[in-house]
């Protein structure tokens, strides 16, 4: 038996997507072993591996759908419970993630973020975090400098691009949009906390969101009931518009 290598795809480099690039991306959730509150979120979340942390996270893989960086992937963790809380006892990390998730829905469905009609609001009510699996939206991608010399820099979402922004329409129409790099200073090497020195996916969590509370085995994310008179959210794909 012989192995014909002539039809092999060109090897891929480890180069990052350039800072400030705009692209259409699809999110895939990589399940953990911690249950969320929603029935469809069983075994979906991952617990922080930082000692004493109660942070629970959603592990997301993003794939560029089209354009010059098509098929390129990057990964990002989103805090959905635990860590530092605000004056009302709500996880600050969850509030940040929730804003991003809301923007993903608006970007995916072409909703004006200022549209608070009953129809638009109903589309923002999901059965659980699992419903984000497979969502496709437009994002500006950044290069996040590593503060730990053991790890290289990485791509992350800078922001989700919304339908009321000029870049959204261009990307959705398949046009090329020039990158808009940020001006971010590189963190001082060796300045990271012990939590940020943890390996693999746990290193993506923001150590500032961790607390010394015991680790949880169940998500504390509060499911939001649909507003009265709104139809229950239907399952993707995405989102059965």
pLDDT, tens digit, for every residue of 170-202?
A: 999 999 999 999 876 766 655 443 333 333 333
Token reading at 163? 């339908």
- Mean pLDDT in the chain? 83
- Over residues 58-80, mean pLDDT: 97
* Full-model pTM: 0.77
d(CA 14, CA 239): 33
Q: Which long-range contacts (CB under 8 A, 24 or more apart) does 182-187 make?
A: 182/19, 182/20, 182/142, 182/158, 184/142, 184/144, 184/145, 186/145, 187/145, 187/146, 187/147
Inform me whether the pLDDT recorded for 209 exceeds 50: no
The Cα-based distances of 50 to 12, 96, 135 in angstroms read 33, 20, 29
Q: What is the mean pLDDT of residues 80-89?
A: 96
Name the nearest CA neighbour of 144 among 197, 203, 88, 87: 203
Q: In a 3-state reduction of DSSP, which class is residue 105?
A: helix
The whole-number pLDDT of residue 186 equals 64
Whole-number pLDDT of residue 237 = 77
**Residue boundaries of the structural domains of the chain:** 21-173
Asked if the model's pLDDT at residue 233 lies above 50, the reply is: no
Q: Which of 29, 55, 52 is nearest to 42 (CA)?
A: 29
Q: Which residue has the tokens 């010399």?
A: 149
pLDDT of amino acid 181: 94
CA distance 56 to 79: 6
Kind of pairing, strands 73-81 and 56-64? Answer: antiparallel
pLDDT at position 127 over 80:
yes
Torsional class of 200: left (φ above 0), alpha (ψ -120 to 50), beta (otherwise): left
Is residue 137 within 8 Å of 25, Cβ to Cβ? yes
Angle at alpha carbon of residue 219, lines to 217 and 220, rounded to 5°: 125
The answer to whether 188 touches 149, Cβ cutoff 8 Å, is: no
- Mapping DSSP to helix (H, G, I), strand (E, B) and coil, where does residue 168 land? helix
- Predicted confidence at residue 1, as pLDDT, reads 79
Q: What is the pLDDT of residue 10?
A: 74
Tell me the percentage of the chain whose pLDDT exceeds 90: 66
């Amino acid at each position: 038996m012989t192995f014909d290598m002539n039809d092999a795809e060109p090897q891929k480099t480890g180069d990052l997507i350039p800072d400030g690039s705009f692209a259409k991306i699809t999110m895939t959730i990589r399940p953990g072993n911690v249950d969320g509150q929603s029935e469809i979120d069983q075994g979906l979340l991952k617990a922080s591996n930082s000692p004493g942390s109660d942070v629970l996270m959603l592990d997301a893989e993003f794939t560029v759908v089209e354009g010059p960086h098509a098929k390129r992937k990057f990964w990002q963790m989103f805090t959905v419970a635990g860590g530092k809380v605000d004056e009302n006892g709500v996880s600050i990390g969850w509030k940040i993630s929730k804003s991003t998730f809301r923007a993903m829905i608006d970007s995916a469905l072409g909703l004006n973020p200022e549209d608070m009609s009953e129809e638009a609001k109903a589309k923002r009510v999901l059965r659980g975090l699992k419903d984000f699996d497979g969502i496709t939206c437009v994002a500006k991608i950044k290069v996040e400098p590593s503060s730990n010399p053991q790890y290289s820099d990485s791509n992350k979402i800078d922001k989700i691009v919304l339908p009321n922004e000029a870049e959204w329409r261009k990307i959705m129409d398949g046009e090329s949009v020039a990158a808009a790099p940020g001006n971010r200073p590189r963190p001082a090497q060796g300045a990271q906390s012990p939590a940020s020195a943890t390996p693999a996916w746990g290193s993506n969590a923001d150590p500032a969101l961790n607390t010394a509370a015991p680790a949880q085995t169940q998500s504390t994310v509060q499911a939001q009931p649909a507003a009265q008179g709104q139809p229950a959210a239907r399952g993707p794909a995405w989102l059965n518009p």
